[in-house]
Amino acid sequence: MRLGFLAPVLTFAVIAAVMAYALFFLNPKEIPSELVSKPAPEFKLDPVPDYGPGLETAHVKGGKITLLNVFASWCVACMVEHPTLMELSKGGKVEIFGLNYKDKPDAAAKWLGKHGDPYSRTGMDLNGRVGINFGVYGVPETFIMGPDGTIIDKIIGPITEKDLKTRILPRIQGSDS
Amino acid sequence: MFRTRLILPILLLLGSFFLAFSAGAVFVEERLPDPAEEKRARDIADGIRCLVCQNQSIMDSNADLAKDLRAVVRERVAAGDSDDQVRDFLVVRYGDWVLLNPPFKMRTLILWLGPLVVFVFAAIATILFLRRRAAPAVGQGGPAPLSAEEKADLEKLLADDEKDKT
């Protein structure tokens, strides 16, 4: 009991440690995705004018891993990950589908014309309902879709170098071999 | 003195402004034709967390997604879903997180029972602490009374003291 006086100090230290962890390592903006390891919801969308054929559920069940990238011309953060997507698409290792979220068709087409088009197919989710079915709550988001159309993983926000190395590339390479 | 008398009415007045303001902040872009259904939709929406602004309900938020989710709730209600079916529709897509009032289940056990456990622990610690402090007074009813021998000694000492003074 001689160390009893340390109790308040210890209590404080534990609380401080938990809070420091939450402050530096947890991101309150990242909501755990409910749909991971569940099948993709059914959808069928028209393409952005002049940008590839339309997009529907069958396309993300094509027997190989694909990326479903949620983007919009009004989304500033999408610019950050755009070069990464262009790079991925040039490498030809993975097919990338573009889900154009709550955008104006003309604006989306203009945006793709200006910055380049990494998508093999695009779909316009004009009223955002497909997005809601996918549990999208911000743009950009990127879904890594399994060969059978299962959502393997979801990247919230722009794809970072770390996301690319730890979450995307290993899976693409894994599916090749 | 008159200043302190003024403060309360002013606070009340300010408070009522905020109250009026928060009650007025309801976003209505569409309304269900049936008032009972509209009320049900709003009650459900009040318990749905806006995923963009996080600590607001979708009823209080003017975020785009909140607006869409309000429309979804109204649609489901109009389609004849029960309150729970509407909530499940959103939980399937966004997880329990979307409910401002999280359900009681294994994964949320710490959340619900944690405070209770802390309270019980603190209560036990407090009782032990108070008992230990009160123990000498309560347990023995103050200092033990002097034995006959001690009394004799004391009297003798006091008597000696008297003698010295004189």
End-to-end CA distance of chain A: 62
In contact, B73 and B45? CB cutoff 8 Å: yes
Q: Which long-range contacts does B100-107 make (Cβ < 8 Å, 24+ apart)? A: B100/B46, B100/B47, B100/B48, B100/B49, B100/B57, B101/B47
Q: Check CB contact under 8 Å for A128 and B65.
A: yes
* A21 has a chain B CB within 8 A of its CB: no
Whether ipTM > 0.85 holds is: no
Q: Tell me the per-residue pLDDT of A45-76, one tens digit each, with 9 for 90 and over.
A: 999 999 989 999 999 998 899 999 999 999 99
Chain B residues closer than 8 Å to A7 by CB: none
Cα torsion A86, A90, A94, A99 to 10°: value is: 30
Distance (Å, whole) CA B39 – CA B12: 30
Q: What pLDDT, on the 0 to 100 scale, is given for residue B110?
A: 87
Domain boundary assignment for chain A: 30-176
Nearest to A34 among B64, B65, B94 (CB): B94
Burial track A110-142 (b if 16+ CB lie within 10 A, e otherwise): ebbeeeebbbbbbbbbbebbbbbbbbbbbbbbb
Q: Under CATH, domain B22-103 is a member of which superfamily? A: Cytochrome C biogenesis protein (1.10.8.640)
Contacts (Cβ under 8 Å, ≥6 apart) of A102: A72, A125, A126, A127, A128, A131, B64
Q: Give residue B57's pLDDT band: very low, low, confident or very high (50, 70, 90).
A: very high
* CATH class belonging to A30-176: alpha beta
Indicate the residue of B51, B72, B92 with minimum beta-carbon distance to A137.
Answer: B51
Distance, in Å, from the CA atom of A99 to the CA atom of B19, rounded to the nearest integer, reads: 42
Q: Does A92 touch chain B (CB under 8 A)?
A: no
User: Which residues of B lie closer than 8 Å to A, measured between beta carbons?
Assistant: 51-52, 54, 64-65, 68-69, 72, 91-95, 97
Q: For an interface test with B, which of A10, A15, A31 has the most B Cβ atoms less than 10 Å from its Cβ?
A: A31
d(CA B123, CA B97): 32
Contact: A34, B69; criterion CB under 8 Å: no
Average pLDDT over residues A141-151: 94
By Cβ distance, the residue of A31, A35, A129 closest to B51 is: A31
Residue A177 pLDDT grade (very low, low, confident, very high; cuts 50, 70, 90): very low
Task: Give residue-wise pLDDT tens across range B13-45.
Answer: 666 655 544 444 456 667 888 889 999 999 999
A133 close contact with B: CB closer than 8 A: yes
For the record, the structure tokens of A104 come out as 């104006």
The contacts found for B108-116 with CB under 8 angstroms, 24 or more apart, are none
pLDDT at A26 over 80: yes
One-letter identity of residue B29: E
Q: What are the φ/ψ torsions at residue B26 (nearest 5 degrees)?
A: -115, 130
**Residues in B touching A28 (Cβ below 8 Å):** 54
Q: Give me the pLDDT at residue B10, please.
A: 64
Compute the average pLDDT of residues A108-116: 95
Rg (CA), chain A: 20
Which pLDDT score is estimated for B133? 83
Size of interface A-B (CB pairs under 8 A): 38
Q: pLDDT value at position B18?
A: 55
H or E segment to which residue A69 belongs: strand A66-71
Domain definitions of chain B by residue range: 22-103, 105-141
